[in-house]
Structure 1
Amino acid sequence: MRIPEFAFSLILSATSASAVDRSAVEAQFRTWLDDTIWPMAQSEGVSRETFDDAFGGVSLNWDLPGLVPPGADAPTEIKQRQAEFAAPARYFRQGPVEGATAIGRQMASRHAGALAAAEGATGVPARIILAIWGRESGYGRVSIPHDAFEVLGTKAFMSTRASYFTRELIAALEIAEAGHAPERSMKSSWAGALGQPQFMPSSFLDYAADGDGDGRADIWGSEADTIASIATYLERHGWVPGRDWGFEVEVPASVSCALEGPDQGRPIADWAELGISRVGGKAFPGHELEGEGYLMMPAGRSGPAFVVTPNFYVLKDYNMSDLYALFVGHVGDRIAYGMGDFETGWGDVGSMLRSDIAAMQRDLQDLGHDVGGADGLPGFKTRRSIGRWQEARGEAATCFPEPEMKADLAE
């Protein structure tokens, strides 16, 4: 849905973005807008007036990441650290979690009518809508500083994903043509995500909703429209009304962490028969027992474990990160039920560079494991592949990459 924002560094080859003639590239950009983008926009019903208004005063933003200007070579090396895919504990720092919870409760009261309407129309619980809203834009309090046409135009013209951003640029022009955005206020993140729900433009066209009945889907200035749009997105991605997102559990040593993943689901009652239990002595809700559940261990044996439902993977459709979906479910529960921290703490894992994890993934692939791609991101396929590799060596499975494993895998 949206592109996650993360910190990273690029090491460019000899011909770098700073070495090109920027004034010449700016001229090429204006020609490209007229010769390439305008015909595409016109074919989608965008007027010349809308087009000219969108790009009036817009120039290239040379500070955006991932740019490959004409005359520059592509990056030769990328090294990245991400909270989503590094130390999981960083994603659940006390301050952000408690802040999202406290403000979420205020918003639950302030916008009770809009939340009830959205929940009634879609089946998506208000607490989940609130948690996403809080994560994406701090309930509308976080500044969304960029001109969307500057960002999308720059990335469509000279980024490593130019084709993708070209499609999003045309979608943004369609939004402007329809009059949804406030006058001169098509604001986005550095990645082009729009408004309080942080929708990419194509997602706006598919899921933005009019929650306040004024005929527009204003996700920049209308809380009711923001709430309705988040709920609509989740509903159309398959949210199952009446089911929870998941439960923190205790996983006995007799149950392998390599059983993790949405392709290894079984009824929650079956997980319970294997000895998996909810933390704190709670029972699984009776209506959940026959529903399918999936083991989810985002830090392997070095952190809390969960049995999640199909709704967890609907949350992942909003942002493809296990920890994002877990944050949303957890904060939603804290808002609605007053729950505290996870019963199990996060272990000291997740300090590796993505480039190092990618090397481990390639070694696992050479051994016949499906790691989901050597991208340096330890998702469930990588975690359980590590567990299976450890078990094949006669070791206790931990199911998370650790520095000392790198040399053993490379042998």
Structure 2
Amino acid sequence: MKLISLLLALVVAALAPQSASAQSKQALEGQFRGWLEQTVWPAASRQGVSRTTFDQALGGIGLDWSLPGLDPSGTGPQVNWQSEFSAPGRYMAEANVAPLVGIGRGLMGQWKSTLDAVERRYGVPREIVVAIWGRESAFGRASIPKNAVQTIATRAFVGERRDLFLPELVAALKILQGDHIPLSQMKSSVAGALGQPQFLPSKYLEYAVDFDGNGTRDIWNSVPDTLASIANYLRQHGWQPGQHWGYEALVPDTVNCAVEGPEQPYSLSEWQKAGVTRVDGSPLPGSARDARHLMMPAGRLGPAFIVSKNFYVLKEYNESDLYALFVGHVADRLGADARISGKWATTAGFRRGDVRAMQERLVAKGYDVGGADGLVGFKTRTAIGMWQRQAGMAPTCFPDADLIGSIR
């Protein structure tokens, strides 16, 4: 009997949190219905969405609790500061690059006439367009399974970035209002990004293109619409036709790695005078007055690149140095099998929280790190380099376990 009582107690203890959780979810579902009516409907109505469209899209849906990154408490993004710091070389690993190159080359042949037309209209190289297509959705082969409206509504109500997703929910309703795509076909990723180019709804409304001429901007099923929409996005964000995104470079130690980033342009002639060349020793292409930027995603612990404005246009698609570098490198490899020559050092033995603590100490010393977020963007890299030089050290512009301990 004692054993039975103990087992019953354990069962009750196990079930109690689940019951409370279910009650909490049920209460949130009721609040969700009220929020749709009191907040979303007025916002959508002001944007020209009809009551019919609103009811068809949202009338029968509940919250999608299967989505990652939900925040019912409203406390904001929960960062795992204990996670191991991820070195840039992992992102750029050949195992991630090679499959996209192999498949992409075949698709470039298959869609040659379409890519010819896209290049003529938008001035964006086919290799860049195909590289983004591959990175975003594996050339349309990745699963895009979610009801976009439900996904975005869930993120707007109980997600970590609610201010971002409420306007995107209204934009999704405007897509339906304009008969751009049926509700049954409007699928998204778990992050709410639409179709093969992975546009948020507001980006779809602004940049998606009907390139196959059938009257629908179908970035879910139409390859021509997908390719042209990617190219249009880049061109509208300032892509300069005829300008390469950048080149791997040899940067002498006499050039301080802290001169990296979009805020520190130098003319091509200045880089050449400093002894910077392409990685094979040949001169950097371009005219003497062309503005170029140093980009060292791992500081002196990895390869260096001299990039044009088009590199930062790629960052408009995804705000990440490594994303832009990955796309540019895949694009280069689609044309010629030239791998990155520089080696990525392995940095280990510290966590993202250690990086954040280092950033906070740098901020306290007056350095601009671009936000103490545990991520090593260009502002953090340049701040590290400036601190190292002031401390009499050879700048590496990238953290390792010893350096993190030294910055006090």
Matched, 1:251 2:240: no
Give unpaired runs (5+ residues) of structure 1.
1-13
CA distance, structure 2, for counterparts of residue 82 and residue 153 of structure 1: 29
CA deviation map 1:364-403 (0-9, x unaligned): 1111111111121111111011011111111111110112
Residues 343-382 of structure 1 correspond to what in structure 2 (within 5 A)? 343-349=341-347, 352-382=350-380
Contact 1:87 1:351 in 2 (8 A): no
1:63 to 30, 42, 66: 66
Which structure has the bigger radius of gyration?
2
Per mean C-alpha deviation after superposition, the further-off stretch among 301-310 and 176-185 is 176-185
Q: Residue type matched to 2:92 in 1?
A: F
CA distance, structure 1, for counterparts of residue 123 and residue 395 of structure 2: 39
**Offset at 1:159?**
2.3
Q: Secondary structure at the match of 2:79?
A: strand
Find the counterpart in structure 2 of residue 11 from structure 1: none
CA distance, structure 2, for counterparts of residue 223 and residue 350 of structure 1: 42
Find the counterpart in structure 2 of residue 295 from structure 1: 294
Q: Secondary structure at the match of 2:185?
A: coil
Matched, 1:29 2:32: yes
CA distance, structure 2, for counterparts of residue 314 and residue 334 of structure 1: 19
Residues 257-276 of structure 1 correspond to what in structure 2 (within 5 A)? 257-276=257-276
After superposition, the Cα gap between the structure-2 partners of 1:391 and 1:154, relative to the gap in structure 1 and judged at 3 Å, is same
Find the counterpart in structure 2 of residue 319 from structure 1: 318
Contact 1:247 1:278 in 2 (8 A): yes
CA distance, structure 2, for counterparts of residue 207 and residue 289 of structure 1: 34
Find the counterpart in structure 1 of residue 330 from structure 2: 331
After superposition, the Cα gap between the structure-2 partners of 1:300 and 1:67, relative to the gap in structure 1 and judged at 3 Å, is same
Residues 173-188 of structure 1 correspond to what in structure 2 (within 5 A)? 173-188=173-188
After superposition, the Cα gap between the structure-2 partners of 1:260 and 1:160, relative to the gap in structure 1 and judged at 3 Å, is same
Q: Residue type matched to 1:167 in 2?
A: P
CA distance, structure 2, for counterparts of residue 191 and residue 339 of structure 1: 33
Q: Secondary structure at the match of 1:307?
A: strand
Find the counterpart in structure 2 of residue 201 from structure 1: 201
CA distance, structure 2, for counterparts of residue 351 and residue 20 of structure 1: 42
After superposition, the Cα gap between the structure-2 partners of 1:289 and 1:110, relative to the gap in structure 1 and judged at 3 Å, is farther
Give the paired residue count: 390
> What TM-score results when the alignment is normalised by the length of structure 2?
0.91
Larger fraction in helix: 2
**Offset at 1:34?**
2.1
Find the counterpart in structure 2 of residue 3 from structure 1: none
**Offset at 1:349?**
2.2
Find the counterpart in structure 1 of residue 8 from structure 2: none
**Offset at 1:47?**
2.1
Q: Secondary structure at the match of 1:78?
A: coil
CA distance, structure 1, for counterparts of residue 26 and residue 78 of structure 2: 27
Q: Secondary structure at the match of 1:25?
A: helix
Q: Secondary structure at the match of 1:280?
A: coil
Matched, 1:79 2:80: yes
Report the RMSD for the aligned CA atoms in angstroms.
Answer: 2.1
CA distance, structure 2, for counterparts of residue 199 and residue 133 of structure 1: 11
2:43 to 40, 44, 49: 40
**Offset at 1:112?**
1.3
> What TM-score results when the alignment is normalised by the length of structure 1?
0.90
Per mean C-alpha deviation after superposition, the further-off stretch among 21-30 and 385-394 is 21-30
CA distance, structure 2, for counterparts of residue 175 and residue 350 of structure 1: 46
**Offset at 1:233?**
0.5
CA distance, structure 2, for counterparts of residue 320 and residue 33 of structure 1: 31
Q: Secondary structure at the match of 2:141?
A: coil
CA distance, structure 2, for counterparts of residue 41 and residue 159 of structure 1: 20
CA distance, structure 1, for counterparts of residue 406 and residue 21 of structure 2: 41
**Offset at 1:90?**
1.2
Q: Secondary structure at the match of 1:295?
A: strand
Q: Residue type matched to 2:389 in 1?
A: E
CA distance, structure 1, for counterparts of residue 259 and residue 293 of structure 2: 9
Percent sequence identity over aligned pairs: 50
Find the counterpart in structure 2 of residue 212 from structure 1: 212
